[in-house]
């Protein structure tokens, strides 16, 4: 978790907490599968209201987690609640999902993650309006739009960015296990994250492209949110091609079959080459719950009185 402002401590000793984000709705998905669980927001109003109605109708425990900004505390304008809800959803910061046990007894049937962009990939791909240049919208890009994360981003010039690592390159090199085992602090390891040594491009004023250097903690936040999104995908029955490709690539790097030099210089290209051969399995379409059909009457079964009358008639 990121430190600073209303979140937690940010300073020379620490930039935040080195633990995974404790999102309640995501945590409840790991339970016994009985409660109705939804993580929704005004970013998708129809889904928000549908989830509320389904939760009220559900016969059992129902939990809804709804994201909204706290405009003054988060450092955004008063009219930006809808925009920020869309941004945090699209960045995988708070992906929307509904887990409805009425739809079946498997995660693939009960879990719906539709409404999130690019649900088969790690990140949503979009373009800068001014230049039409494509880029991937990560949780760091959402953080760049809220003042509460200001300690984690530094505005830099294009020539300064040329001396740093791109976030795209860095994210190929690192996994959540590298974070857990603190390998990201070892300068000789492939996952080493230099503090404010990684940059992203963000939309600037009048369509211009601007550059931001990221704190080490913000890079780790991207890694953690990516892992959480991959877990959601797997529960929904979606096979993430990027994850499979990254896993295979890093296995080759760690085994010495691909050099660290090649990884550092061509991480994105190496990953894309491996993604091309991966396959995707889409989840089964969720089924709408229906009331059980009434049992057909058994013509051989009669009330006791009718059976007695029939017997008496035959004997006479």
Number of domains in the chain: 1
Give a yes or no: residue 133 inside a domain.
yes
For the chain, how far is it from start to end, CA to CA, in angstroms? Answer: 88
The pLDDT of residue 296 is 45
Contact predicate 184/161, CB 8 Å: no
Give a yes or no: residue 308 inside a domain.
no
Q: Which two tokens stand for residue 26?
A: 């995501």
Q: What does the alpha-carbon distance between residue 96 and residue 236 come to, in Å, rounded to a whole number?
A: 12
CA 269 from centroid of its chain's CA atoms: 24
Q: What does the alpha-carbon distance between residue 74 and residue 22 come to, in Å, rounded to a whole number?
A: 19
State the chain's mean pLDDT as an integer: 86
Give a yes or no: residue 298 inside a domain.
no
Rg (the chain; Cα; Å): 26
5 burial class (0-12, 13-18, 19+ CB within 10 angstroms)? middle
The pLDDT of residue 10 is 62
Domain, as residue range, for 73 = 24-238
Q: Which of 20-34, 85-99, 106-120, 226-240 has the lowest mean pLDDT?
A: 20-34
| Residue range 126-149: mean pLDDT, rounded | 94
**DSSP per residue over 208-237, as a string?**
-EEEEEE-HHHHHHHHHHHHHHHHHHHHTT
**Alpha-helix residue ranges (DSSP H) falling in 106-259:** 107-110, 139-143, 158-161, 167-173, 176-180, 216-235, 241-254
The pLDDT of residue 72 is 86
Q: What does the alpha-carbon distance between residue 38 and residue 54 come to, in Å, rounded to a whole number?
A: 10
The pLDDT of residue 311 is 37
**DSSP per residue over 51-77, as a string?**
HHHHHHH-SS-EEEEEE---HHHHT--
Q: What does the alpha-carbon distance between residue 287 and residue 282 come to, in Å, rounded to a whole number?
A: 15
Give a yes or no: residue 287 inside a domain.
no
Give a yes or no: residue 198 inside a domain.
yes
Instruction: Find the helix packing angle between 260-275 and 241-254, rounded to 10°.
Output: 150
Give a yes or no: residue 303 inside a domain.
no
pTM above 0.75, yes or no: yes
Give a yes or no: residue 15 inside a domain.
no
Specify the higher pLDDT residue, 74 or 284.
74
The pLDDT of residue 9 is 60
**DSSP per residue over 12-41, as a string?**
SS-SB--S----HHHHHTTS-S-SEEEEEE
Exposure pattern of 17-29 as b/e (b: 16+ CB <10 Å)? beebbebebbebb
Give a yes or no: residue 201 inside a domain.
yes
pLDDT in tens, 153-189: 999 999 999 999 999 999 999 999 999 999 999 999 9
Q: Which of 23-27, 101-105, 201-205 has the lowest mean pLDDT?
A: 23-27
């Amino acid at each position: 978790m990121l430190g600073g402002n209303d979140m937690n401590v940010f300073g020379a000793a620490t930039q935040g907490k080195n633990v995974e984000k404790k999102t309640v709705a995501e945590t409840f998905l790991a339970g016994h599968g009985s409660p109705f669980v939804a993580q929704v927001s005004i970013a998708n109003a129809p889904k928000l209201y549908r989830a509320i109605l389904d939760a009220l109708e559900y016969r059992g425990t129902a939990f809804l987690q709804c994201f909204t900004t706290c405009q003054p505390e988060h450092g955004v304008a008063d009219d930006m609640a809808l925009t920020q809800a869309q941004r945090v959803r699209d960045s995988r910061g708070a992906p929307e999902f509904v887990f409805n046990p009425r739809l079946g007894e498997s995660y693939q049937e009960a879990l719906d993650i539709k409404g999130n962009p690019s649900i088969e990939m790690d990140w949503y791909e979009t373009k800068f309006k001014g230049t039409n240049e494509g880029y991937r919208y990560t949780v760091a890009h959402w953080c760049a739009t809220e003042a509460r994360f200001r300690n984690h981003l530094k505005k830099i010039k294009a020539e300064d960015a040329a001396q740093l690592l791109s976030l795209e390159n860095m994210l190929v090199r690192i996994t959540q296990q590298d974070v857990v085992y603190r390998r990201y602090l070892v300068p000789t390891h492939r996952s080493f994250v230099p503090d404010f040594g990684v940059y992203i491009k963000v939309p600037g004023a009048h369509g211009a492209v601007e550059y931001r250097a990221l704190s080490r903690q913000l890079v780790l936040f991207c890694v953690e949110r990516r892992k959480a999104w991959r877990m959601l995908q797997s529960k929904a029955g979606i096979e993430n091609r990027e994850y499979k490709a990254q896993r295979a690539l890093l296995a080759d790097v760690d085994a010495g079959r691909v050099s660290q030099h090649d990884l550092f210089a061509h991480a994105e290209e190496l990953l894309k080459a491996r993604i091309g051969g991966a396959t995707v399995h889409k989840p089964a379409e969720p089924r709408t719950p229906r009331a059980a059909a009434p049992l057909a009457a058994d013509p051989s079964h009669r009330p006791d009185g009718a059976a007695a009358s029939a017997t008496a008639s035959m004997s006479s």
